Structure 1
Amino acid sequence: MNKIQNVVVLGGGTAGWMSAALIKKVLGNSVGLTLVESDSIGTVGVGEATIPPIRLVNKVLGLNEGEFLRETKATIKLAIRFENWKQQGESYYHTFGAPGKSMAFCHFHHMWMKGREQGVARDLWDYDLNYLCAEAGKFAQIQSADPMLELPFAYHFDAGLYAQYLRKLSEKAGVKRIEGKVERVLRNERDGTVKALQLEGGQLVDGDLFIDCSGFSALLIEKALGTGYDDWSHLLPCDTAIAVPSERRETTRPFTRSMAHKAGWQWQIPLQHRNGNGHVFCSRYMSDDEAQSILLNNLETKPLADPKVIRFTTGRRRKQWVKNVVAIGLSSGFLEPLESTSIHLIQSGIVRLLQLFPHNGLHPASVNEYNEQSEREFLQIRDFLVLHYTLNERNDSQFWKDMRELELPPLLKHKMDLFRENGKLFRDQNDLFLESSWLQVMLGQGLIPGDYHPLVNTMSDEHIRNTLNRISEIKAQPIAELPYHDDYLAHVMRSA
Structure 2
Amino acid sequence: MNTAIKNVVIVGGGTAGWLTAALLQKVVGASINITLVESEAIGTVGVGEATIPPIRLVNQVLGINEAEFLRETKATIKLAIKFENWRRPNESYFHTFGSPGKSMAFCHFHHFVNRAKAFGAKASIWDYDLNYLCATQGKFAHIKAQDTVLDLPYAYHFDATLYAQFLRRYCTKLGVTRIEGMIESVQQHPSGNIAAVTLQDGQRIDGDLFIDCSGFRGLLIQQTLGVGYDDWTHLLPCNRAVAVPSERFETTVPYTRAIAHTAGWQWRIPLQHRNGNGLVYCSSHMSDDEATHTLLNNLDSAPLGDPKVIHFTTGRRRKQWYKNVVAVGLASGFLEPLESTSIHLIQSAIVRLIHLFPHAGIDSAAVDEYNQQSELEYLQIRDFLVLHYHLTERDDSQFWRNMQQMDIPASLRHKMTLFKQNGKLFREQNDLFLESSWLQVMTGQGIEPEDYHPIANTLSEQQLMNMLEQMRSVKHEPLANLPSHDAFLSHYCQAK
Provide the rounded CA distance (Å) in 2 between the counterparts of 1:106 and 1:390: 28
Residue 23 of structure 1: how far off its partner (Å): 0.4
In the alignment, which residue of structure 1 is the partner of 2:225? 225
1:146-181 deviations in Å (ceiling 9; x for gaps): 111000000000010000000001011100000011
For 2:43 and 2:377, locate their aligned partners in 1 and report how far apart those are by CA, in whole Å.
28
Equivalence for 1:21: 22
- Aligned counterparts, 1:366-405, within 5 A: 366-405=366-405
Secondary structure of 1:101's counterpart equals coil
Q: Give, in angstroms, the shift of residue 490 of structure 1.
A: 1.1
- Residue equivalent to 1:113: 114
- Unaligned segments of structure 2, at least 5 residues: none
Query: Which residue matches 2:42?
Result: 41
State the AA in 2 paired with 1:43.
Answer: T
Q: 5 Å matches for 1:17-416?
A: 17-189=18-190, 191-416=191-416
Number of matched residues? 495
Q: Does 1:490 align with 2:490?
A: yes
State the one-letter code of the partner of 1:331: A
The amino acid of 2:64's aligned partner reads L
Give 1:202 shift: 1.1
State the Cα deviation string for residues 409-447 of structure 1 (Å, max 9, x = none).
111111111111111100000000000000000000001
Matched residue type, 1:297: N
Divergent runs of 4+, >4 A = none
Tell me if structure 1 keeps the 8 A contact 2:37–2:178: yes
SS in 2 for 1:305: coil
CA–CA distance in structure 1, aligned partners of residues 339 and 365 of structure 2:
31
The 1-side partners of 2:10 and 2:148 are apart by: 41
Equivalent residue letter for 1:363? D
Structure 1, residues 246-269: CA drift from partner, whole Å, max 9, x if none? Answer: 000001000000000000000000
Q: C-alpha displacement at 1:29, in angstroms?
A: 2.4
Instruction: Please give the alpha-carbon distance, in whole angstroms, between the structure 2 residues aligned to 1:29 and 1:387.
Output: 44
Q: CA deviation at 1:458?
A: 2.1
Mapped contact 2:16–2:328 kept (Cα < 8 A): yes
Deviation digits for residues 24-52 of structure 1, max 9, x if unmatched?
00012210000000000000001000000
- In 1, distance between residues paired with 2:351 and 2:27? 10
1:145 partner SS? coil
Separation of aligned partners in 2, 1:280 and 1:416: 25
Paired residue secondary structure (2:94) = strand
Distance in 2 (CA, whole Å) between partners of 1:441 and 1:237 is: 20
The one-letter code matched in structure 2 to 1:127 is Y
Give the Cα separation in 2 of the matches to 1:453 and 1:71.
48
Q: How far has the Cα of 1:459 moved from its partner?
A: 1.6
Question: Contact 1:65 / 1:492 at 8 angstroms: preserved in 2?
Answer: no
Matched-pair contact (CA < 8 Å) for 1:4–1:209 = yes
TM-score using structure 2 length? 0.99
Q: Quick one: which amino acid aligns to residue 170 of structure 1?
A: C
**Separation in structure 2 between the aligned mates of residue 120 and residue 490 of structure 1, nearest angstrom:** 41
Q: Contact 2:6–2:33 at 8 Å: present in 1 too?
A: yes
Where 2:46 maps in the other structure, the secondary structure is: coil
Instruction: Render the CA deviation track for 1:295-324: whole Å, top value 9, x for unaligned.
Output: 111100000000000000000000100000
TM superposition shift of 1:118: 2.7
Between the aligned residues of both structures, percent identity stands at 66
In structure 1, runs of 5+ residues without a counterpart are none
Secondary structure at the residue paired with 2:26? Answer: helix
- State the secondary structure of the residue aligned to 1:425: coil
- Give the C-alpha shift of residue 107 in structure 1: 0.5
Give the CA deviation at 1:106: 1.1
For 1:477, what is the secondary structure of its paired residue?
A: helix
In 2, Cα distance between equivalents of 1:150 and 1:56: 16
The alpha carbon displacement at 1:482 in A equals 0.3
Distance of 1:192 and 1:89 partners within structure 2:
55
Provide the rounded CA distance (Å) in 1 between the counterparts of 2:16 and 2:444: 32
Distance 1:148 1:56 in 2: 20
What is the Cα deviation at residue 116 of structure 1? 1.3
Alpha-carbon separation, structure 1, partners of 2:353 and 2:247:
39
CA distance in 2 between partners of 1:175 and 1:352 (Å)? 20
Q: Following TM superposition, by how much is the alpha carbon of 1:117 offset from its aligned partner in structure 2, in angstroms? A: 2.0
CA shift at 1:468, angstroms?
Answer: 0.3
1:220 shift after superposition? 0.3
Measured in 2, the distance between the counterparts of 1:320 and 1:114 equals 46
CA contact (8 A) 1:8 1:209 kept: yes
Assess if the C-alpha contact under 8 Å between 1:49 and 1:157 holds in 2: yes
Counterpart of 2:99, as a letter, is A
Two-structure CA RMSD over aligned residues (Å) = 0.6
What is the deviation of 1:124? 1.4
2:116–2:123 Cα contact (<8 Å) kept: no
The alpha-carbon deviation at position 327 of structure 1 amounts to 0.2
Rounded Cα–Cα distance in structure 2 between residues aligned with 1:367 and 1:428? 23
Alignment partner, residue 429 of structure 1: 429
State the shift of 1:280 in Å.
Answer: 0.3
> Are the aligned partners of 1:389 and 1:403 in contact in 2 as well (CA < 8 Å)?
yes
Q: How many angstroms apart in 2 are the aligned matches of 1:360 and 1:485?
A: 49
SS at structure 1 position matched to 2:252: coil
- Output the amino acid matched with 1:319: K
